[in-house]
A = this chain, B = another copy of it.
């Protein structure tokens, strides 16, 4: 957001938000009723005081079929800042409805990173048309950004930044900033570069403000700085910002020259997205966005269900191998799922902990063995507790002590195996370069399902006559 916009904005319509900063349903309904009634002016009046992030939310909360009418009514309020805040799926349908010139107008208002976010998802042909409609400078900047891989630092960075030579003084920097209207207005650090435009230091604005005019910037800047390679994946960028508590960072190309800047506000939503993604991946829910079209969600999820169906066959096969045992004691058909189910839960717990520890770089080769030993200890304690409970319960329920014993031992075995699988499977996948969040649960669930039934039915068969008599 530019300075002038912030200054001109009326105070936020706080009363339209509930205590969690979400738009109140009454407000959304009132706007949509005005739109429905053809009263564009009333709708516009209500929406105008909102923050761009809230206008984006309003569009998302509006049913897809009513969105065109809403957009027609509040048209000019949906500017670049609103689009930059909007959910990708919703924005895409909105942008599709605009002409290339309209998109170009919006993009030229924005910093490179926000403009790229809007343009990168367009069809190649529409994209080319928008690029042609841009003025040459913006076009060159956006084309360069698009030349970097998706989800890389190059797409995330903005080219609007302040870089000054090492020999300047604080006073020189102040005069430069005050004398050049065209410079960036929102920045938190300035970068100090050598004649080859390679960053040699970073200077927080507060240090500049606190230093006398005569001091050289090279005496104020920090030489220790975290540089981001332009082709770094955004997940790595986010981890680096988090680890070193960065506010902004210089982006450098292959030869070490300063080509852009990433600020923390662009990274914050990536941090949240990457951390939240694991839960969706572990459950095989794909993108997991409630704005995703139904058919895309279906395609993403059904693949996962079919994979799970195939792995579940291993448990079914084990059960059918023990058909004879079940026929002799039908109670086993009821108790098998109990043991495999609780084992599955135990495995999922360990797996969730391991996947999180891997994602946050807490678990490395240095503490792998320790982590496995730790999870085994927890698993043995869990197993002993649950096995005791279930053993006594089953013995009482069926009035059958040997059956209680068999289920208790099977439960202990399955929970320990679950604990081991929950930590070893994600670690192994990670070691082989696979994303542990994506495929761990298939293997862990297959293990706990099969082992649960195998332990119950196998033990029952072994114990034999005493049990089945």
Contacts and interface: CB of A to CB of B under 8 A. Distances in A.
Interface of A: 1, 3, 6-7, 9-12, 20-23, 25, 28-29, 51, 53, 57, 60-61, 63, 87, 173-174, 177-178, 183-188, 204-212, 222-224, 226, 236, 239-247, 264-265, 267-269, 271-273, 275-276, 278-280, 282-285, 288-291, 294-295, 297-298, 301-302, 304-306, 308-309, 312-313, 315-317, 319-320, 323, 326-327, 330-331, 333-338, 340-342, 345-346, 348-357, 359-367, 370-371, 374, 377-378, 381-382, 385-386, 389-390, 415, 445, 449, 453
Contact of A301 (B87, B276, B340, B382): B382
Contact of A362 (B60, B245, B327, B354): B60
A294 B378 CA distance: 6
Given A188-B247, A275-B276, 18 more contacts: A3-B222, A22-B364, A208-B209, A242-B272, A271-B275, A276-B360, A278-B279, A279-B279, A295-B381, A301-B382, A312-B337, A312-B342, A315-B337, A320-B330, A320-B334, A333-B336, A337-B449, A341-B445
A310 to B, nearest CB: 10
Given A268-B241, A271-B272, A337-B319, A371 B290 contact: yes
Instruction: Label chain A's interface by main secondary structure.
Output: helix
A230 to B, nearest CB: 15
Instruction: Please tell me how many copies of the chain the complex holds.
Output: 2
Contacts of A385: 302, 305-306
A316 B301 contact: no
Nearest to A281: B352
A349 B206 contact: no
B185 A210 contact: yes
B21 A337 contact: no
Given A247-B247, A341-B449, A309 B268 contact: no
A222 B283 CA distance: 44
A21 B243 contact: yes
B304 A349 contact: yes
15 contacts: A1-B245, A187-B206, A205-B206, A242-B272, A272-B275, A276-B276, A284-B349, A294-B374, A294-B381, A302-B386, A306-B386, A309-B338, A313-B338, A316-B334, A316-B338
Nearest to A212: B178
A177 B210 contact: yes
The 6 closest A-B CB pairs, nearest first, are A275-B275, A205-B205, A245-B265, A319-B334, A279-B279, A333-B333
B283 A348 contact: yes
A333 B130 CA distance: 61
Given A275-B271, A294-B377, A381-B298, A305 B346 contact: yes
A236 B19 CA distance: 9
A222 B290 contact: no
Contacts of A295: 381
A268 B275 contact: no
A29 B364 CA distance: 12
A1 B424 CA distance: 38
Residue with the greatest number of chain B CB neighbours at <10 A, chosen from A9, A236, A319, A357? A319
Contacts of A186: 204, 206
Contact of A6 (B25, B28, B222): B222
A77 to B, nearest CB: 16
A256 to B, nearest CB: 13
A124 to B, nearest CB: 29
A285 B355 CA distance: 12
Nearest to A18: B364
